[in-house]
Amino acid sequence: MADKILKQLKIKVWRQKNAKSKGRFETYTIENISTGSSFLEMMDILNNDLIEKGIDPIAFDHDCREGICGTCSLYINGRPHGPDTEVTTCQLHMRKFKDGETIIIEPWRARAFPVIKDLVVDRSAFEKILQAGGFVSVNTGGVPDANAIPVSREDAEESMDAAACIGCGACVAACKNSSAMLFVSAKVSHLAKLPQGKVEADTRAMSMVAKMDELGFGGCTNTRACEAECPKSISIMNIARLNREYLKARLSR
């Protein structure tokens, strides 16, 4: 069955020359988009049009286009990664939009994620948080026996669920406070649930939260918007665990 064609769409998009310049919205018209194409393919077609017209193409982040790398972003019609749930923007399809619709595209908005150009933001703040404590200090060496360290199935599952975080930043974009708590809690949890991560449990939670605050992210007010908009459905139960780990570490010294 052939995909339907959206005859005309209006794309209202944030244009910003560089980090220092003041941005503004521009509206472009695009025609004959197949509902089977992905949102980023629509952006590619639009950029082609723009290049042909001699207009600077719209800069946006993308890489794997398989929904696993966390590079694509975009705040589409008021929601991170657009109107679908549990998908990244590259996995969002144009069938989620109506013919004649105006689609508003904005970059992630957060003090800690400054705009570099158009829709591209600098998400290196996440790397800085990871560098502050999102690791285990163990000597590498030969591969240990699979069952040498006992881990219960439930712990392994919860750890893996937290490790599904791709660091895209949708949680920050969705949060009314631009809080990075879901990201930080996922990165703390996937280590805290395993024996290998227990050694540095105290310092990890404290240094990652300190870095998160320092970088200018907001605080969590438990609205749960992050969880709802997360393409990997990371649970806010990780935030409860981070709170627990942090308070335990703080109050014990």
Partner 1 sequence: MSKFLTASIGRKFIMSVSGLFLMVFIAVHLGINLLLIFDDSGDLFNQGAHFMATNPLIKVMEPVLGLGFIVHILWSFMLEYQNWKARPVKYAKKNMSGASTWASRNMLVLGGLVLVFLIIHILDFFVKMKFTGHHLLEEVVVKGVHMENAYALVSTAFIQSTALGIFYIIGGILLGVHLSHGFWSSFQTLGLNNKYWLKRWQVIGQIYAVVVALGFAIIPLYFMFGLNN
Pairing of strands 5-15, 120-121: unpaired
Q: Does 118 bind partner 1 (CB under 8 A)?
A: no
- In the complex, minimum distance from the CB of residue 139 to partner 1, in angstroms, rounded to a whole number: 32
Contact region with partner 1 (CB under 8 A), list: 57-65, 89-97, 129-137, 231-239: 231-239
Contact region with partner 1 (CB under 8 A), list: 54-62, 64-72, 140-148, 240-248: 240-248
User: Which residues 91-110 are close enough to bind partner 1 by CB under 8 A?
Assistant: 104, 106, 109-110
Binds partner 1 (CB under 8 A): choice among 29, 224, 234, 252: 224
User: Which residues 12-31 are close enough to bind partner 1 by CB under 8 A?
Assistant: 25
- In the complex, minimum distance from the CB of residue 169 to partner 1, in angstroms, rounded to a whole number: 13
- In the complex, minimum distance from the CB of residue 20 to partner 1, in angstroms, rounded to a whole number: 14
Instruction: Indicate the residue type of 40.
Output: L
Q: Does 186 bind partner 1 (CB under 8 A)?
A: no
Where does residue 49 rank: exposed (0-12), middle (13-18), buried (19+ CB within 10 A)?
middle
Q: Where are the alpha helices (DSSP H) in 10-98?
A: 39-52
Q: Does 164 bind partner 1 (CB under 8 A)?
A: no
Contact region with partner 1 (CB under 8 A), list: 63-71, 129-137, 196-204, 227-235: 227-235
- Cα 198 from Cα 204, distance rounded (Å): 10
DSSP state of 63: S
- In the complex, minimum distance from the CB of residue 252 to partner 1, in angstroms, rounded to a whole number: 12
CA 227, 120, 79: angle at the middle one, nearest 5? 35
Q: Give the residue carrying structure tokens 């001699």.
A: 54
- Cα 34 from Cα 146, distance rounded (Å): 48
- Cα 77 from Cα 139, distance rounded (Å): 47
- Cα 114 from Cα 212, distance rounded (Å): 15
Q: Does 47 bind partner 1 (CB under 8 A)?
A: no
Residue 249 neighbours by CB under 8 Å, 6+ apart:
201, 202, 203, 205, 206
- In the complex, minimum distance from the CB of residue 96 to partner 1, in angstroms, rounded to a whole number: 13
Q: Which residues would be at the binding site for partner 1 (CB under 8 A)?
A: 25, 75, 77-79, 104, 106, 109-112, 115, 174, 176-179, 181, 209-210, 212-213, 216-225, 228-229, 235-237, 239-248, 250
